[in-house]
Amino acid sequence: MADTAQGARILIRGGRVYDHDGDVHQPATADLLVSAGRIERIAPSVDAPSGTEVIDAAGKLVVPGFVNAHYHSHDVLMKGMFEEQPFDIWTTYTGASAYGPRSHREVRIRTLIGAAEMLRNGITTVQDFLTVFPPDEAYVDTVLSAYDEAGIRVNFAIAARDRSQLDIAPLMAKDLPEAIRSRIFGGAGRTAKQELDFVAGQIKRLGMNPKPLITWALAPSAPQRCTPELLKGLAALSHEHKLPVFTHVYETRPQAAAARVQSVSLLDLLKDAGLLNERLNLVHGVWLSAGDIELLAQARARVVHNPISNLKLKSGAAPILDLHKAGVEIALGCDNYSCAETQNIFIAMRMLCLLPAITSPEPHPVSAALALRAATLTGARAVNMEGRIGALKEGMAADLMILDLNEPAFVPFNSAARQIVFSESGAAIDTVLVAGRPVVRGHKLLTVDEAKLAAEAAEISPAFRKEIEAQIKRTADLVAPLLEGNRAVWKTQLGIARYVGGPRDS
Ligand SMILES: [Zn+2]
């Protein structure tokens, strides 16, 4: 991890320092010395060597930075454009290839907007699962430069797929008009070789650390959207470079039903390709069966839970308690702006703890302290940075936030863990460090001029909004058949319940 030589020496003095293994309710007061991007020392009292910048943290709480383990930066500018809607309709509006190539200026602005909000919300590491469209290396450079400018740590992946039909296609009526069929069942897409060459080519061109805070991951879009050749090629790359893999699996009931009617197991596809191992992160996993969960536990693969998009796209409530009981670790993500609107891990942690109530009235072990581990330590494992980020320990990277305990969420201060998870939403964040570099101070982002960025966004967004409105119009004739397809899906029995009081297997 190349986070040395970032920033000067900083002493964070007299704050409550959150320790996953200590008193998570009343963390001990300590000094924390940051040097060369890392936490050099944590002790009740640390002398500041001359030239050290001192941050007075009295009355403040120092917390590890969050890992946002699922995000797509291609549709940042769609924030606020859609109400809730089923996944299969949303995907026709928002897919990166639906509305043509973007300018480099627009790509830079959208990347910075997402990075800025994340940093302000205490997210110090993000996994960006980006569809680079068109697949042109100049866009990769623009995105990585914008992240470098913002100063956020990024585990970057280029989304890959070589099958273009919609996930629900196997369940759609076969007698649809040809103009509609062709868009649901897809046309000529990319080949496995083109996708692999592009991904491997970028890794080779830019090296394992394209920028000091940027590393790689791999991102087969979903097992059903990739041929075995593509999955195997990505597995070989993961093996060769020890790269984490993220892939969407069983996000929706139509995806699970499509697999069932075709007698396919998406986990078997991953296993056959050599991807079902501890480097694998299944994104969503709402419709995993009990057997699937067992397979994940055996493989030590994780699930990345995205509660907001799961609800906004009507995918259902993920089996949080079943995963936890089986020993499958859960990381947290915020997903796209077009289906979640905000990058806020406080909300994701809260939902992780609260959503199990809709399936079980019993007390459960998914506590606030566990949610904080999910948002930090498990996220760190997901992006292959275990032991390097996710906790405030000597020798680990200085990725942290400082929360003001005089803000409403913490008055009175009864429990750090519970008030971070159940009361706070980001408003108490005073300071954020990434690799020891202050990126937020006094609630203000230091790396990006937010007022200028807002002005630039205002300049480009009216034209962008028009393009999306045109895309919605172009797609209007797909809505009724797709809704009909969604209803027909219930004829396929799964024996899995992810809605409360809604439709059931007939
Ligand atoms: Zn996603």
Rounded to the nearest angstrom, the distance between the alpha carbon of 219 and the centre of ligand 1 is: 10
Rounded to the nearest angstrom, the distance between the alpha carbon of 74 and the centre of ligand 1 is: 11
Residues 29 and 84 in one domain: no
Q: In the predicted model, what is the mean pLDDT of residues 41-68?
A: 97
Tell me if 88 sits within 8 A of 252, measured CB to CB: yes
Rounded to the nearest angstrom, the distance between the alpha carbon of 76 and the centre of ligand 1 is: 13
Mean pLDDT of all residues belonging to the chain:
95
Residues 148 and 33 in one domain: no
The answer to whether residue 356 sits within a structural domain is no
Q: Which domain holds residue 130?
A: 66-315+333-346
Residues 52 and 74 in one domain: no
The answer to whether residue 220 sits within a structural domain is yes
Rounded to the nearest angstrom, the distance between the alpha carbon of 277 and the centre of ligand 1 is: 20
The answer to whether residue 290 sits within a structural domain is yes
Of 83, 184, 260, 267, the C-alpha closest to 484 is: 184
**How many distinct structural domains can be found in the chain?**
2
User: CA separation (Å) from 204 to 3, 199, 207, 317, 410?
Assistant: 21, 9, 5, 40, 47
- Does the pTM surpass 0.95? The reply is yes
Residues 98 and 179 in one domain: yes
Residues 298 and 438 in one domain: no
Rounded to the nearest angstrom, the distance between the alpha carbon of 372 and the centre of ligand 1 is: 22
Query: Range with the lowest mean pLDDT among 30-34, 359-363, 397-401?
Result: 359-363
Residues 118 and 207 in one domain: yes
Residues 136 and 269 in one domain: yes
Tell me what pLDDT residue 2 has. Answer: 40
Q: What is the 3-state secondary structure (H, E, C) of 171-190?
A: HCCCCCCHHHHHHHHCCCCC
Q: Which two tokens stand for residue 403?
A: 């929360």
Tell me what pLDDT residue 5 has. Answer: 46
Rounded to the nearest angstrom, the distance between the alpha carbon of 339 and the centre of ligand 1 is: 10
Residues 94 and 232 in one domain: yes
Tell me if 173 sits within 8 A of 485, measured CB to CB: yes
Residues 122 and 227 in one domain: yes
Rounded to the nearest angstrom, the distance between the alpha carbon of 184 and the centre of ligand 1 is: 19
Residues 104 and 241 in one domain: yes
Strands 153-160 and 214-216: parallel
Rounded to the nearest angstrom, the distance between the alpha carbon of 81 and the centre of ligand 1 is: 18
The answer to whether residue 93 sits within a structural domain is yes
Rounded to the nearest angstrom, the distance between the alpha carbon of 183 and the centre of ligand 1 is: 21
Rounded to the nearest angstrom, the distance between the alpha carbon of 70 and the centre of ligand 1 is: 6
Residues 22 and 79 in one domain: no
Rounded to the nearest angstrom, the distance between the alpha carbon of 334 and the centre of ligand 1 is: 9
Q: What is the pLDDT of residues 185-236, one digit of tens each?
A: 986 689 999 999 999 999 999 999 999 999 999 999 999 999 999 999 999 9
Rounded to the nearest angstrom, the distance between the alpha carbon of 114 and the centre of ligand 1 is: 15
Burial of 52 (0-12, 13-18, 19+ CB in 10 A): middle
Rounded to the nearest angstrom, the distance between the alpha carbon of 304 and the centre of ligand 1 is: 10
- DSSP structural state of residue 499: S
Rounded to the nearest angstrom, the distance between the alpha carbon of 29 and the centre of ligand 1 is: 39
The answer to whether residue 121 sits within a structural domain is yes
Q: What's the CATH code of the domain at 166?
A: 3.20.20.140
Q: What's the CATH code of the domain at 26?
A: 2.30.40.10
Residues 47 and 78 in one domain: no
